[in-house]
Amino acid sequence: MSFRLRVLWLVILVAVSATAATAWLTLRQASRQINDSASADRAQLDEVVDRLRAYGSQHGTWEGVPNLVRELRTQTGQRIHLVADTGQVIVDTDTQEKRTARPLGMTVGFVDPRPALNLAALPTDPAGREKGLVGAIAAYRTGVRFAACLTREHVPVVAVPTSTGVPQFDADLNTAGWHGRQAANDIVKSCRDIAAGPGRDVLDPAWMLVCATPTVGTPDSCLAQAFTNAISDVAPVPARVYLGARGDPASVLAAGPLLAAAAGVAAVAVIGTVLLSRRVLRPIDTLTAAAQRLGRGDLTGRVPVRGNDELAELARSFNRMADSLQRGEERQRRLVADVAHELRTPLANLRGYLEALSDGVITPDQELYASLLEEAVLQQRIVDDLQDLALAEAGNLAYHRVAVDLAELLETCGTAHHARAESAGVSLRVEAEPVAVHADPDRLRQVVGNLVTNALRATTAGGSVRLVANRTETQAIVRVVDTGSGIAADALPHVFDRFWRADAARGRRTGGSGLGLAIARQIVTDHQGTITVASEVGVGTTFTITLPRADQ
């Protein structure tokens, strides 16, 4: 697995572990606190509903309930909003506290203070059940009006349950601590007169529509609904109670487990970072030490390669760079040695002849001057070739690129070397099809001319040299094919080296400077092309030049 993938998987592991641990602990803690909070809210709601139902059942009205709600607000610490089914707000602690009413909370309870008739306490016969139902309705209607009156007069009320489920209401004067007994009795008497006054027993006939007259088999639900309908106009209205308000501060999650999770994730990250840093920094330290040795001039240092990841590829690249620098250094030393070797002997000859002429040892004549001039011209050619090669390798050799027809260029080269080929008894032929390239025609003629010169030099009388040009879909191909002596297989890798000659016995006069093929390769490379050689001893040699076509 590559180093990048290992780092990626490590980061993913840390991220997933952190996310999973944090999410699990947060969810667990939040769920527990939500459950605890919900249980507490439900318990508070049940208590509030029970207290409000008891108040409505005992007093027969919601008047005076704000005092109880204020007490419950203090006890629970939550906003309490009591609203009738009709939509009328009975009491709201936000309004009591003179603050802007907040959005209602989500905890809702239903308060129905109306009593439920115990049908089992009624007679079983239809007439008796009807009479018992009417009696229970009348008793509750009178009693609840009495209780409501006492509540308005601030007289404590006591509701005593009965077998029918309809409470019996009375004043609780002892609990109230009334000192004026006569005044209290007057209030109680007045409330009884109000509760049983004229017209108070006239019922809304709508309740009879539920079940007009009880008969055998009349469902209990029908009778219970009839009772409820008959008392609804005097009983306290059912209401809904809301606890809390949206926007109240939520419960704060416990920090301990979250901190523990964060510490665990941090530990995993630290351990992963340490392992990663060891894996990364050790080979980097090795590379740094090797690079420092390389900077001090030690080109023999290499770094070990382990694995197939990016660090291993970096080590291989460093080793290739060091190999290239070492080869370049060796080539430079060889070049200096070759240039010194090439120039030492001819310069020594020139110096010896000039000193002999200066000392009068030899007699100057035209033949001597011609020999010295030829020697100077050869040295000038070597220097010019070295300059061209240096410029080409530095990328500073000037090119004037135009569209060039290779067929025409080969014809020109063939014509230029035709006389020399005839004098050597070698057949020189051009076999070219039109193909255009974008190149410097003079430099291409220099390359082809050098190849033709080498081919004619290596081919004996009766042999042949062919200049061939053809094309593929994207490339133009030039071949210089001779039937000369050929090049040995072990010598082919050195063909394009500086000062290399296929025949070591050839000197500068017969074998050239040894720089032509190096210059040719650089020129072809600068034209985004390639030059290769194939040869067989005794059969001949083929140089192949490949260039991009101009139309591509």
Distance CA 71, CA 69 (A): 5
Percent with pLDDT over 70 in the chain:
81
Residue 363 inside a domain? The answer is no
Residue 443 or residue 345, greater confidence: 443
Q: What is the pLDDT of residue 346?
A: 75
Domain annotation covers residue 317: yes
What is the predicted pLDDT for the residue at 3? 60
Residue 499: how many CB atoms within 10 A of its CB? 19
Of 83, 111, 139, the position where a domain reaches its end is 111
Residue 338 belongs to a domain with what CATH number?
A: 1.10.8.500
Q: 432: Cβ–Cβ under 8 A, 6 or more apart, which residues?
A: 406, 407, 410, 411, 467, 468, 469, 470
The pLDDT of residue 341 = 67
What per-residue confidence (pLDDT) applies to 85? 86
**Domain end position, chosen among 82, 111, 140:** 111
Under 8 Å between Cβ of 93 and 74: no
- Residue range 219-242, pLDDT digits in tens: 777 878 888 888 888 889 999 999
Give residue 240's pLDDT.
93
pLDDT at 513 over 70: no
Tell me which residue range forms the domain holding 47. 3-111
303 and 221: one domain? no
pLDDT mean over 474-498: 90
Residue 168 inside a domain? The answer is: yes
Whole-number pLDDT of residue 193: 83
| Amino acid type, 516 | G
Any domain includes 332: yes
Q: What is the pLDDT of residues 444-461, one digit of tens each?
A: 998 999 999 999 999 999
pLDDT for 427 equals: 94
Does residue 15 sit in the same domain as residue 90?
Answer: yes
pLDDT of 544: 96
Of residues 262, 278, 267, 266, the one with CA closest to residue 6: 278
Residue 279 has pLDDT above 70, yes or no: no
| Co-location of 541 and 498 in the same domain | yes
How far is residue 2's CA from residue 312's CA, in Å, rounded to a whole number? 9
Note whether 86 and 137 are same-domain residues.
no
| Lowest mean pLDDT segment, chosen from 78-82, 88-92, 287-291, 410-414 | 287-291
- Tokens 């009006």 appear where? 145
- What mean pLDDT is predicted for residues 18-35? 73
Mean pLDDT score of the chain, rounded to an integer?
A: 81
- Total domains in the fold of the chain: 4
Q: What's the mean pLDDT in 509-525?
A: 75
Q: Same domain for 451 and 532?
A: yes
Q: How is residue 87 written in tokens?
A: 């939509």
Q: Is 45 helix (H, G, I), strand (E, B) or coil?
A: helix
- Give one DSSP letter per residue of 385-436, joined into a string: HHHHHHHHHTT------EEEEHHHHHHHHHHHHHHHHHHTT-EEEEEE---E
- Cα–Cα nearest to 533, from 543, 547, 525: 543
Please check the confidence at residue 394 and state whether its pLDDT lies above 50.
yes
Q: Are residues 191 and 212 in the same domain?
A: yes
Question: Are 439 and 511 found together in one domain?
Answer: yes
Tokens found for residue 547: 């260039």
Q: Are residues 410 and 510 in the same domain?
A: yes
Q: Can you say how many angstroms the Cα of residue 73 is from the centroid of all Cα atoms in its chain?
A: 52
Res. 198: pLDDT tops 80: no
For residue 247, tell me if it sits in a domain. no
Q: How would DSSP label each residue in 8-32? A: HHHHHHHHHHHHHHHHHHHHHHHHH
More confident residue, 193 or 38: 193
Q: Which pLDDT score is estimated for 507?
A: 47
Indicate the pLDDT class of residue 506, thresholds 50, 70 and 90.
Answer: very low
- 505 & 523 share domain: yes
Question: Do 127 and 226 sit in the same domain of this protein?
Answer: yes
Give pLDDT, residue 532.
95
Q: How confident is the model at residue 23 (pLDDT cuts 50, 70, 90)?
A: confident
409 pLDDT band, cuts 50/70/90, is: very high
Judge if 488 and 504 occupy the same domain: yes
pLDDT in tens, 149-165: 988 888 888 889 888 88
Total-model pTM: 0.44
β-partners of residue 403 are: 438
**Are 409 and 471 members of one domain?**
yes
Looking at the DSSP bridge assignments, the partners of residue 73 are none
Mean pLDDT of the 394-404 span: 83
* Boundary residue ending a domain (343, 360, 382): 343
Does residue 354 form part of some domain? no
Q: Is residue 351 part of a domain?
A: no
Question: What share of the chain in percent tops pLDDT 90?
Answer: 24
What are the tens digits of pLDDT across the range 120-143?
888 888 788 878 888 888 889 888
Q: For residue 507, what is the domain's CATH number?
A: 3.30.565.10
For residues 176-184, average pLDDT: 59
Secondary structure class of 245 (helix, strand, coil): strand
Asked, for residue 412, whether it belongs to a domain, the answer is: yes
| Of 18 and 285, more confident | 285
